[in-house]
Chain A
Amino acid sequence: MAGDLDQFTWLVIRLLGCLRRPFTGKPFMSWQCWRHLAWIGADSIPIVSTIAACTGIILALQAAAQLEKVGALSYVANLVGISIVAELGPLLTALILAGRAGAAFTAEIATMKISEEIDALEVMGLDSVRYLVWPKCVAMVLMTPLLALWADFTGVVSGGIFSVFVLGLSAHGYYEHTATFISLRIFFSGLVKSLAFGLAITLIGCWQGFLAKEGALDVGRRTTRAVVQSIFLIVLLDLFFTALTYVAR
């Protein structure tokens, strides 16, 4: 366990070292970064959109069932908007990326560790963290908030479409309620926590990859562990940021 934590500290220190020359120091390769940006960002849009759209509709349905009883159906917009923008957009995006990108990071690095590719990089004098982890980190820190933003938009719009066409609310009223109740503070708190989620997924995923020792079994074990630990850390970070937002309201 102490060795595992030493490895984590080593990874964080080496990553902090990358900040000195973030985009010019060797062996940072812009193509690696573009590859990850495309893969994490563009390729995740279909699944993020589908899940956010379904969540928007589910929230509208759940809210309508309760609010209808007290004659406050127009407040469906508030509930959907705040739930999605403050909480579910960033959280669901992070959970999707933990399963999609985090697991892939672990599997890639663990396989490279076992096949001595990481040793080869180090022996060639290439910083394996700068070569392998830094482009992933840059891509995740940029893409997680952007995808969360997209999830917010998709969730709110799908909830709106459902509310207008099925629940019979007016489009203008829905927009007014949403725009009034989603403050900039709520909006930005969602983006800030997305950034933290992205960083956490990268760190856990890459750390578990570097811990792999031997055999395909360990790659599988490390990948599972990375996903579980990422989900756990995402929820803890979410609790922390939500509590912080509540105290600072």
Chain B
Amino acid sequence: MSLEWTKTHEAPEIRLEDVALGYPNLEVLSGISAVLPQGDITVILGGSGGGKSTLLKSILGLLPPVRGRIYLGDSDLYALEGPELRQIRKHMGVLFQDAALLGSLPLGENIALPLREHTRMDEGIIETIVRLKLSLVGLEAFMDYFPNQLSGGMRKRAGLARALALDPRVLLCDEPTSGLDPITAADLDHLILELKAAFGMTVVVVSHDLQSVFTIADHVVVLNKGGMVFQGLPNELRKSGDAFLRQFLDRQPTSGLHARIQDL
């Protein structure tokens, strides 16, 4: 199994080949074939319950597809075992929907965790890196705070700092702006843009925040009803004449719901 891309400094592209997710007799998503380009921000867009987070989990290596393959560069993610998977994961940073910081550890320790696991650095160097990563997201002063002492936006930024701890080549974010006020959401969008510009990472963002999508996306994938209905540039998405995409972009209610509201 080739892991050539991990030996270079380049970010890998992510390739999905006829991916189906769910159970053998009940596929939640199927026929997903897409290329998430190297060094770009790809936004996976879709309605609630549309399978966006499920697809992200599969790209993370946490949910094997029932069919198809997922490649990171030249590596078939689900053909990797033990040490190879660990090697790949060193290059992947993840920001979970609710940040998923370990509640029993202060922020500094949360960020030091992957450094201690994957490197042999001195504690002094680890502390310097932790401070650096926290300063990137503007949380240097909160190093000794526990996650439950922070606001939702601060937790997300701390989650981003942890995702960046090992200087990953791939950054995956699950609804980074959900539940945040517009200013904090915009701050987080710009942070993701700056990080991509500074480190040249391949970034995958799951979102249904349209404003955020058009701010950060280089490439968009849209999921609906268990399949992929669009793949392309944000401008192409804006111009699309597809009925579902128009309804989604123009925020039109479904006719059934509209009729029910009229009846009421």
Near B by CB (< 8 A), chain A positions 92-141 give: 112, 115-117, 119-126
For residue A27, which residue of chain B has the nearest CB?
B117
* CB <8 Å contact, A116 and B86: no
* CB <8 Å contact, A123 and B61: yes
Question: Which residues in A have some Cβ–Cβ distance to B below 8 Å?
Answer: 26-27, 112, 115-117, 119-126
Question: Which residues in B have some Cβ–Cβ distance to A below 8 Å?
Answer: 57, 60-62, 85-86, 89-90, 92, 94, 96-98, 100-103, 113-114, 116-118, 162
Residues of A within 8 A of B92 (CB): 123
Given contacts A116-B100, A119-B100, A120-B100, contact A125 B117 (CB under 8 A): yes
Residues of A within 8 A of B116 (CB): 26-27
Query: Within the complex, what minimum Cβ distance (angstroms) separates A27 from chain B?
Result: 5
* CB <8 Å contact, A123 and B90: no
* CB <8 Å contact, B89 and A124: yes
For residue A125, which residue of chain B has the nearest CB?
B89
Please list 12 pairs of residues, one from A and one from B, whose beta carbons are closer than 8 Å in the complex, sorted by A's number: A112-B103, A117-B101, A119-B60, A119-B62, A119-B100, A120-B94, A120-B101, A122-B62, A123-B94, A124-B114, A125-B118, A126-B117
* CB <8 Å contact, B89 and A123: yes
Residues of B within 8 A of A115 (CB): 98, 100, 103
* CB <8 Å contact, B89 and A119: no
A26 to B61, CA, bound (A): 21
Given contacts A124-B89, A125-B86, A125-B90, contact A119 B96 (CB under 8 A): yes
For the complex of A and B, 10 pairs with smallest distance between CB atoms: A120-B100, A116-B100, A125-B89, A124-B114, A116-B96, A125-B86, A123-B94, A117-B100, A26-B117, A126-B117
Residues of A within 8 A of B101 (CB): 117, 120
* CB <8 Å contact, A123 and B62: yes
A56 to B220, CA, bound (A): 71
A39 to B174, CA, bound (A): 36
Residues of A within 8 A of B85 (CB): 125
* CB <8 Å contact, A125 and B114: yes
* CB <8 Å contact, A126 and B97: no
Excluding A123-B92, A126-B117, 10 further A-B contacts by CB distance (< 8 Å) are A26-B116, A27-B113, A112-B103, A117-B101, A117-B102, A120-B94, A121-B102, A124-B114, A125-B86, A126-B114
